[in-house]
Amino acid sequence: MSKKKIAAIITEYRPKSHADVVVTKFLKGFPIDAGFFAPRVDLVSMYIDQFPDSDISRQIAAEHDVPIFTSIPKALTLGGKELAVDGVLLIGEHGDYAWNEKEQHLYPRRFFMEQICGVLATSGRGVPIFNDKHLSYNWPDAKWMYDRARQLNAPFMAGSSLPLGWRSPWLEHELETPIEEAVAIGFSGLDIYGAHTLEVLQCMVERRVGGETGVSAVTCLEGDAVWQAANQGLWSRELAEAACACIENKPEGSMEDHCENPALFLIEYRDGLKGAVLMLNGYVQDLAYAARGDGQTQACEFYLQGHGGPDGAYAHFSYLSLNVEEMFLTGQPSYPVERTLLTSGVLEAALTSRHQGHSRLKTDWLDVVYRSYEKLPWRPTGPRPTGACLDPWPPTD
């Protein structure tokens, strides 16, 4: 039986880019704790939007005999007139694209999705699509991507690798867990890592009693206003400290001692859950989570692997990619795309709040309702990477 054929639609493909840590695995294989897993699908075509000086797409494509086409439709039809692949990787991260006044990077994910869905529509066949990271920098485009995939009966997954990282100590809420308040800790830029930190929060709280109900309001605060908000009870200092206590790599002292300009997303869920994303540049370089419910506090670090070997394993992307591959094989998403739809909308709302003077923004449109899946097909279960992912690529003859 022939393997499923996959096309990769990419902004740019350079060392350590998202294309490298995802698409390369679909060509070379997936190193994880349990061993090294060869691809079960065939990557048969690529479209590359930009070729920086550090481009590696041409070299890798030649090594694996994968053609690079000059348009998205040609990559999906393999140069013909109708859809000729069984799944699509949309890797719209990195590249020379503009920023807007809200400091959002304007990646062309909706435009790529429009081209992909155009070929699916005219061919009369929906195939699985994976969109790397959040859907779009604006809600109308994100919602359009979600709705269009549903309209075409195209199984759809999206999101970052953060929910697929190791957790120290291991923590995953049972479905229907009571959660009253939760905090996720992050760092780096609000656009690039705000998305990651929101996914840390959302992949955990979506498992609460009743499932996800959506978000009614979002506020972004910065600087001293963040600490003042804690004093006012708008976010829990106790939960933030519990989350940070799980992070091994941080300096002695308090968060105020090291973080000169904290940032905070206050997230008011429609069912009353209080959520917060706390960005602590200068204090941490890892992500963490803590929640309180039924009188108990639970916390963990979300641990991501660094280079791991001579070529770089980044094996959290292996777990992400294996779950995407599972969708390509079964036609069933490994986890709900609604998670990424909601975090896309919350991120835009937070950056809009910031741009509008840190005002509270009501988000009636974020009425995203869904339930988490019980278990992922592929996931790490330990606190740190082990096994094959420490030496990612088997020797070749």
pLDDT at 307 over 60: no
Please check the confidence at residue 184 and state whether its pLDDT lies above 60: yes
In a domain, 146, yes or no: yes
Helix and strand element counts for the chain (H, E): 11, 16
Residue 379 has pLDDT above 60, yes or no: yes
Is residue 393 a part of any domain in this protein? no
Listing DSSP states for 290-330 in one string gives EEEETTEEEEEEEE-----SSS---THHHHHHHHHHHHHHH
CATH of the domain at 73: 3.40.50.720
- Which are the contacts of 17, defined by CB distance < 8 A and separation ≥ 6? 93, 94
Q: What is the mean pLDDT of the chain?
A: 95
- Nearest partner of 246 among 315, 191, 200, 208, judged by Cα: 200
Q: How confident is the model at residue 234 (pLDDT cuts 50, 70, 90)?
A: very high
At residue 389 the predicted structure's pLDDT band, cuts being 50, 70 and 90, is: confident
127 inside domain: yes
pLDDT tens digits, one per residue of 240-259: 999 999 999 999 999 999 99
Residue 338 resides in a domain: no
> Strand 263-269 relative to strand 215-222: parallel, antiparallel, unpaired?
antiparallel
Contact 275, 201 (CB under 8 A): yes
Percent of the chain having pLDDT more than 90? 92
For 152-176, what is each residue's pLDDT tens digit? 999 999 999 999 999 999 999 999 9
pLDDT tens digits along 256-274: 999 999 999 999 999 999 9
> Does some domain include residue 267?
no
Neighbours of 224 (CB within 10 A): 11
pLDDT at position 378 over 50: yes
Could you tell me if residue 83 is inside a domain? yes
- Predicted confidence (pLDDT) at residue 397 exceeds the cutoff of 50: no
| Confidence at residue 381, expressed as pLDDT on a 0 to 100 scale | 79
Q: What's at 165, amino acid-wise?
A: G
Q: Residue 264 to residues 2, 107, 155, 261, 387: CA-CA distances in angstroms? A: 50, 24, 34, 10, 37
C-alpha to C-alpha distance for 284 and 183, rounded to whole angstroms: 15
| 3-state SS, residue 133 | strand
Q: What is the mean pLDDT of residues 95-102?
A: 97
How many domains does the structure of the chain reveal? 1
The pLDDT score that the predictor gives to residue 396 is 52
How far apart CA 168 and CA 357 sit, in angstroms, is 37
Question: Is 105 part of any domain?
Answer: yes
Confidence band for 39, pLDDT divided at 50, 70 and 90: very high
Domain with 116 in it = 5-163+310-330
Contact of 157 with 335, CB cutoff 8 Å: yes
| pLDDT confidence of residue 373 | 95
- Give the residue from 281, 272, 290 showing the smallest Cα distance to 222: 281
User: Is 335 inside any structural domain?
Assistant: no
Structure confidence by residue, pLDDT tens digits, 4-13: 999 999 999 9
Whether 163 contacts 200, CB under 8 Å:
yes
> Nearest to residue 342, comparing CAs of 169, 131, 177, 158?
158
What single DSSP character describes residue 208? B
108-147 residue pLDDT tens: 999 999 999 999 999 999 999 999 999 999 999 999 999 9
Say if residue 377 is preceded by a cis peptide, omega within 30 of 0.
no
Calpha distance 34→394 (Å, rounded): 14
Direct distance between the N- and C-terminal alpha carbons of the chain, in angstroms, rounded to an integer: 26
CB-based contact 177:209 (threshold 8 Å): yes
